[in-house]
Amino acid sequence: MGLVNTAITGALGAAAGTGPPNLFTTLARHRRMFRPWLMFAGTLMPGGTLPRRDTELVILRVAHLCGCAYEWQHHVKLARQSGITNAEIEAVAVGPSAQAWTPRHRSLLTAVDELHHDRSITSGTWQQLRGCLDERQLIELPMLVGHYEMVAMTINALGIQPDTPRRPTGLARVVQAVSARFTRRSA
């Protein structure tokens, strides 16, 4: 896998409270693809313009619609760190019609459903999104959904198993604390 890729996957595992994430150790076997993909993925999450709470709701809905246990399990933890409650996490499976959602979150989840089912967003949903997202966020949203659909498809196709939680080491606790601070700032 290479020393740099091993260091990257180890640090990501420490942040997640697991060993090196199975997704990353699998994709790192294709070195030429792994690093550019990781850079792109990082521009969407955690480096995107959408608030972290919105991003995690979108990713969880994609994971649910794609039946991707790996993606769901991984992002439930991140969702909780971004302030999403257990009741809201459960409501993600219900979808945009759940009573838990603000109009903004209902619009985001509706867009995810439309992109998943129709590969487009209706004009009515775009109108709602224009009322709560800026231009960069409007561009980012379908990219975020499409990216996590691709990730879910890859995970499901390759049979990548969910990561096994581990008792955090001292270094892992430091990495998790820094990650949580970054998550709260971007929320």
pLDDT at site 183: 47
pLDDT in tens, 121-172: 999 999 999 999 999 999 999 999 999 999 999 999 999 999 987 666 555 5
pLDDT at site 187: 47
CA distance 88 to 2: 40
Q: Which string of DSSP letters, residue by residue, matches 88-133?
A: HHHHHHH-TTSTT--HHHHHHHHHHHHHHHHSS--HHHHHHHHTT-
User: Which domains occur in the chain, in start order?
Assistant: 3-186 (1.20.1290.10)
pLDDT at site 25: 92
Averaged pLDDT score across all residues of the chain: 86
The residue among 18 and 130 whose pLDDT is bigger is 130
pLDDT in tens, 58-97: 999 999 999 999 999 999 999 999 999 999 999 999 999 9
pLDDT at site 174: 53
pLDDT of 176 strictly over 60: no
> Taking the model in full, what pTM does it have?
0.81
Of the pLDDT bands very low, low, confident and very high (cuts 50, 70, 90), residue 5 is: very low
Percentage with pLDDT > 70 across the chain: 78
Answer yes or no: are the C-beta atoms of 152 and 53 closer than 8 Å. no
